[in-house]
């Protein structure tokens, strides 16, 4: 038998067109069915949880289709190739083709071209298209919460936030500050709130002049809220009521300001490099701070270093007999003269002067850069509490996330008077949102993670006189997150390339298996191509997890599935060529 037809043969081109038409027809049908089933399964959970309305569910289903193509295309392509060549076998078309001198390689050429096209399509899908649609899916679940809430209030209807029913006379969306952790915020006016018991009876009702509704990531919440939600990748709603009056069981109580516990918003997808384009993932390797969980560790380390450096500066000033000056955002400067300062946990304890057995304080109120009023006090004790945890209260309008905020607590205070104003005694008072003049935190926060780790190097060595266990712990956590992110980017990148390669091999495997098992039943033929393909997917998925955990050393496991199905295809082709 001749080795094969010439590539210029009209018969060969006619054969290829017929095979390609049949294959792509089958691929369209099978892919549509598989993708629709998988996308519907992905839509059921957020729809059942109430995260999506019915009309949103249809949009969500549309957004879910492209991401599911990454999993559906390889299997659907293998199935289509199997069915295409099995039909040719069952109708004796292959026998006639071989008798006319067409070789096995030539008859598989359409599958090679189709496989290359599918593989290239998956590369584009995985690197650009799928991440975009995944982000749109997430936005529908998280951000539409605010849209539904605001639309309801704007139309004069009440809205439920957690267990609280809220009504407002007016609603206004306020753009967050550029450096704010808040993603969306709304100002409500003329607020009425009601909270009911399980039996429907009113437990609490109240009114507020204003209320803020903020949507922000859970990792930016207070430690208590973060611990309660226990999912840093989710979004949360926090409410703050201003001039609030509450009636509870007949008793009316008023507050100037009340902040509610954070309420989590269900989030289907995680903050994961998997939902980033290939270009974005490449940027992550050079700038891991683009991921929130890394940047959060960077900020925490920077705040810890700034706290330590500020304490060292204050200690030097006090030990040399100099006063320390703290600045508030309320146009005040507070000058303290103390005998000592010591670090007790997260509190800096100021000791009294030996000469007076007290701490001397001078408070200057400024107006247009001039001192308008001065108060002098003495206190038995003073405690400075630095906000070095890296978590900022989203409702704290006095402090900046780029400033090391200090709270000053004074006890047993005597306000020194004059002839017109006699002395006055106060048991305790507090000054919030203070900062030092030369705050090191802004410069530290401008450093990326790698430079931040360099700044922390002297504090990490146990033998160093600067050793600080808190900074060392934060630095270790930052290094762990960076290494974790690097392994994750590596695993996701190779997973995408492996899936794209698998699509090419599965198409060829399906066609070769149909030719080798030409006399078997269609179901048996497909099973012989399905199980090797399934094994390949399992190796890719398992290998991706292994690379994520162990790094590049596990890459052979990820690619071993591709190697196995390639060997299976070559062996099947060798056997089919003999007959």
pLDDT of residue 390: 39
Q: Which residue has the higher pLDDT, 141 or 341?
A: 341
For 180, the 3-state DSSP assignment is coil
For the cut 60, the answer to whether the pLDDT of residue 437 exceeds it is yes
CA torsion sign for 164, 168, 172, 176 is negative
Residue with tokens 């390609």: 20
Mean pLDDT (whole number) for 559-567: 93
pLDDT tens track for 226-252: 777 766 667 788 888 888 888 765 667
Which range of 149-163, 373-387, 540-554 scores highest in mean pLDDT? It is 540-554
| CA angle at 92 for the pair 88 and 98, rounded to the nearest 5° | 85
- pLDDT tier at 341, thresholds 50, 70, 90: very high
**Whole-angstrom Cα distance, residue 423 to residue 427?**
13
At 279-335, the pLDDT tens digits run 888 888 888 988 878 887 898 899 899 999 999 999 999 999 999 999 887 778 999
CA–CA dist 287, 486 (Å, integer) = 11
- pLDDT score at 392: 40
Residue 579 CB neighbour total at 10 angstroms: 9
pLDDT tier at 271, thresholds 50, 70, 90: low
Distance CA 162, CA 185 (A): 17
Q: Which residues lie below 8 Å from residue 296, measured CB to CB, with a gap of 6+?
A: 219, 232, 390
Matching residue, tokens 């549509």: 32
CA angle 413, 417, 423 (to 5 degrees): 50
pLDDT of residue 549: 92
| Whole-angstrom distance, CA of residue 296 vs CA of residue 96 | 68
d(CA 509, CA 118): 14
Three-state SS sequence of 549-576: HHCHHHHHHHHHHHHHHHHHHHHHHHHH
Spell out the domain ranges in the chain.
10-143+484-578, 148-269, 309-442
What is the rounded average pLDDT of the residues 436-441?
A: 88
Q: Is the pLDDT of residue 14 over 60?
A: yes
Q: Name the residue with tokens 């973060």.
A: 226
Cβ neighbors of 31 (< 8 A, separation 6 or more) are 69, 72, 73, 76
Higher per-residue pLDDT: 346 or 339: 339
Task: Identify the residue whose tokens are 């200090």.
Answer: 406
Percent of all residues in the chain with a pLDDT value above 90, rounded to a whole number: 27
The Cα 1–Cα 430 span in angstroms is 98
pLDDT score of 162:
61
- Does residue 491 register a pLDDT over 90? yes
CA dist., res. 455 & res. 474, Å (int): 12
The residue assigned the tokens 């539904």 is: 148
Quickly count: other Cβ atoms within 10 Å of residue 467's Cβ: 13
Contacts of 329 (CB under 8 A, 6+ apart): 398, 399, 433
Whole-number Å distance between alpha carbons of 374 and 15? 97
- Least trusted range by pLDDT, from 139-143, 187-191, 351-355, 484-488: 139-143
Residue 444 in this model has a pLDDT that exceeds 80: yes
Rounded-to-integer distance, Cα 107 and Cα 98, Å? 9
The answer to whether the beta carbons of residues 183 and 219 sit under 8 Å apart is no
Q: How far is CA 157 from CA 191, 197, 214, 437, in A?
A: 12, 21, 19, 49
Q: How far apart are CA 139 and CA 81, in angstroms?
A: 37
Output DSSP code: residue 125.
I
Q: What is the predicted pLDDT for the residue at 501?
A: 92
Model confidence at 97, pLDDT cuts 50, 70, 90, reads confident
pTM of the model: 0.70
Whole-number pLDDT of residue 50: 56
pLDDT of residue 135: 72
SS3 74: helix
Q: Number of helices (H) and strands (E), helices first, in the chain?
A: 15, 15
Task: Please compute the mean of the pLDDT values over residues 15-27 and round it to a whole number.
Answer: 91
Distance between CA 450 and CA 53 in Å, rounded? 44
Scanning the structure block, which residue is given the tokens 């392994």? 487
Handedness of CA 191, 192, 197, 203 (dihedral sign): positive
Residue 401: the pLDDT is 56
Q: HEC states along 209-271?
A: EEEEEEEEEHHHCCHHHHHHHCCCCCEEEEEEEEEEEEEECCEEEEEEEEECCCEEECCCCCC
Residue written as token pair 């903050």: 271
Cα 408 from Cα 361, distance rounded (Å)? 11
């Amino acid at each position: 038998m001749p080795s094969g037809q010439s590539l210029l043969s009209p018969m060969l081109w006619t054969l290829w067109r017929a095979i390609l038409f049949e294959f792509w027809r089958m691929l369209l049908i099978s892919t549509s069915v598989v993708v629709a089933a998988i996308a519907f399964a992905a839509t059921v959970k957020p729809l059942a949880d109430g995260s999506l309305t019915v009309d949103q569910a249809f949009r969500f289903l549309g957004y879910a289709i492209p991401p599911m193509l990454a999993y559906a295309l390889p299997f659907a392509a293998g199935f289509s190739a199997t069915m295409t060549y099995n039909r040719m076998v069952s109708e004796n078309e292959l026998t006639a083709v071989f008798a006319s001198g067409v070789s096995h390689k030539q008859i598989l050429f359409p599958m090679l071209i189709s496989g290359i096209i599918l593989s290239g399509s998956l590369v584009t899908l995985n690197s650009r298209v799928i991440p975009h649609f995944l982000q749109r899916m997430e936005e529908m679940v998280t951000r539409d919460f605010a849209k539904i809430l605001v639309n309801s209030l704007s139309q004069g209807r009440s809205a439920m936030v957690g267990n609280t029913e809220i009504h407002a006379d007016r609603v206004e969306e306020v753009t967050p500050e550029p450096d704010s952790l808040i993603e969306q915020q709304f100002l409500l006016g003329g607020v009425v709130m009601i909270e009911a018991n399980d039996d429907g009876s009113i437990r609490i009702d109240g009114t507020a002049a204003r209320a803020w509704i903020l949507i922000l990531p859970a990792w930016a919440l207070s430690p208590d809220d973060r611990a309660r939600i226990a999912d840093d990748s989710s979004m949360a709603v926090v409410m703050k009521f201003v001039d609030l009056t509450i009636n509870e069981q007949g008793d009316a109580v008023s507050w100037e300001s009340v902040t509610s516990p954070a309420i989590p918003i269900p989030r289907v997808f995680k903050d994961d490099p998997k939902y980033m384009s290939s270009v974005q993932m490449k940027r992550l390797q050079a700038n891991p701070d683009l991921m929130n969980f890394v940047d959060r560790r960077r900020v925490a380390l920077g705040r810890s270093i700034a706290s330590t450096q500020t304490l060292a500066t204050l200690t030097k000033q006090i030990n040399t007999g100099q006063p320390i000056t703290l600045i508030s955002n309320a146009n005040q400067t507070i000058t303290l003269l103390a005998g000592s300062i010591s670090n007790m946990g997260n509190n800096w304890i100021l000791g009294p002067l030996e000469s007076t057995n007290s701490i001397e304080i001078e408070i200057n109120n400024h107006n247009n850069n001039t001192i308008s009023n001065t108060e002098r006090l003495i206190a038995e004790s003073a405690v400075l509490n630095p906000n070095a945890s890296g978590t900022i209260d989203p409702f704290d309008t006095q402090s900046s996330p780029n400033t090391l905020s200090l709270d000053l607590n004074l006890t047993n205070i005597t306000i020194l008077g004059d002839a017109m104003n006699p002395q006055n005694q106060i048991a305790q008072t507090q000054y919030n949102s203070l900062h030092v003049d030369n705050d090191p935190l802004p410069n530290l926060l401008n450093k990326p993670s790698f430079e931040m780790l360099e700044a922390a190097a002297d504090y990490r060595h146990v033998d160093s006189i600067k050793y600080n266990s808190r900074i060392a712990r934060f630095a270790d956590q930052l290094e762990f997150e960076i290494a974790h992110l690097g392994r994750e980017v590596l695993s996701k990148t190779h997973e995408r390339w492996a899936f794209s390669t698998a699509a090419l091999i599965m198409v060829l495997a399906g066609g070769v298996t149909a030719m080798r098992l030409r006399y078997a039943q269609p179901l048996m033929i497909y099973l012989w191509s399905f199980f090797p393909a399934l094994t390949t997917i399992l190796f890719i998925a398992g290998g991706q997890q292994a690379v994520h955990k162990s790094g590049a050393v596990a890459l052979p496991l990820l690619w071993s599935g591709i190697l196995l199905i390639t060997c299976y295809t070559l062996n099947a082709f060798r056997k089919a060529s003999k007959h």
